[in-house]
Structure 1
């Protein structure tokens, strides 16, 4: 899945918004632990515990011995090896400093990859959560007032893209009118939502600036979507 730029504050772990960014990561992992399939849910829960107990946010690594991990997770050393290998295979973690005599290995957590796998579960936390992680405006709550619909934009299509377009329009009608209203669906094969833009400029701009937002909206409607592509005419 194409997840580049998924989290808007991925580099904010040491700045003024560091606290919120850390909680967002843990929230994403824990909602997947609560609702995900058996393997991913178990890995998400164990990584959450590891982050909470042993991750050094300043250095961006964790260094935990195999026996300590086995004790923390309540498993055998063999299970620790298997679980760490699975996290590496998924691209969740990578070795930063190999183990040496008298020193355990240090690992980096690849937050972009981790958050990419948690994305289907973001809507369960709330629209504000998904909006924040993709850089979309957070939905405004104004009691029972229903905002007037903008007449400048074409009506969304039916089906999956119609539902996704409606969600994007609700998030930010101005952005929707400018960049999403003219997109049309051309295919939904093998979990890839393929859209067609009227011009190459629009296709390139949406692909560069708004793809994570579109993907998050698509996943909120259909968890089987794994990627979004925006094509130009003749592309």
Structure 2
């Protein structure tokens, strides 16, 4: 997904949907901020260059708050990593902000399922349920990997979700992952080799993280570690 440039407007409704899903059922602070960010995106975001430029007075008017509160809310969005300054303010010119899309998507992951399995699959880059084209992926193992058992990490349920989304990809790659430990809000997953670990990081990181977050909202990120070089 790209929040700017050619084709970016095609995904704007998915971004707004994800933010509004969090606004509807997320924690109070994040819900309020996601609603306010949605309004900024709808009203002022330039999808061609990927920034919005809104002064504090205009923000305060849009949100129905004081300018001091508007300044504090923007600082909170920056602290969460959702937005970043693209061009600082100068005399006669307000600051331009860009959306940090990976951070926004990570924050909204727990609420994708509330919209529907098709939306969750699309946002994770997985085939939509019951709409999977034939795959030309060649499994690395002749025998399908056994499904993991349930544990406190949520990996067992996440693995079943991933297997249902795309059996070929799960059999070839994702079924080789095993949970190691949770440290804070990060789950470490073991891959049998560096090659497998690097491939999953590059091609399926978002899909795996989204499946895990859907089952365990305490997870905020994953580390994929090769147990062999």
**Where on the TM-score scale, by shorter chain, does this alignment land: which range?**
0.7 to 0.9
Name the Cα RMSD after superposition: 2.0
Do residues 70 (structure 1) and 60 (structure 2) align?
Answer: yes
How far is the alpha carbon of 1:68 from its aligned partner? 1.2
Scaled by the length of structure 1, what TM-score is found? 0.85
| Alignment coverage as a number of residue pairs | 217
Q: In the alignment, which residue of structure 2 is the partner of 1:108? A: 98
How far is the alpha carbon of 1:102 from its aligned partner? 2.2
1:91/1:113 contact within 8 Å kept: yes
Q: Distance in 2 between matches of 1:177 and 1:135?
A: 17
How far is the alpha carbon of 1:12 from its aligned partner? 6.7
Q: Distance in 1 between matches of 2:4 and 2:172?
A: 29
Structure 1 stretches of 5 or more lacking a match? 1-8, 143-150
The partner residue of 1:211 within 193, 205, 209 is 205
The partner residue of 2:191 within 186, 189, 197 is 197
Query: Deviation per CA, 1:35-78, whole angstroms, max 9, x where unpaired?
Result: 11111111000000111111111222111121111111000011
Matches of residues 21-170 of structure 1 in structure 2 within 5 Å? 21-140=11-130, 152-159=143-150, 160-170=154-164
Q: Distance in 2 between matches of 1:184 and 1:125?
A: 29
How far is the alpha carbon of 1:130 from its aligned partner? 2.0
Does 122-131 or 163-172 show the bigger shift?
Answer: 122-131
Q: In the alignment, which residue of structure 1 is the partner of 2:6? A: 14
Scaled by the length of structure 2, what TM-score is found? 0.87
How far is the alpha carbon of 1:190 from its aligned partner? 2.1
Query: Deviation per CA, 1:153-188, whole angstroms, max 9, x where unpaired?
Result: 132111122211111100000000000222222223
Structure 2 stretches of 5 or more lacking a match? 133-141
Alignment partner of 1:165: what SS? helix
Alignment partner of 1:102: what SS? coil
Does 39-48 or 90-99 show the bigger shift?
Answer: 90-99
Alignment partner of 1:219: what SS? helix
Q: Which runs of 4+ in 1 moved over 3 A?
A: none
Query: Deviation per CA, 1:180-212, whole angstroms, max 9, x where unpaired?
Result: 222222223323222222222112211221111
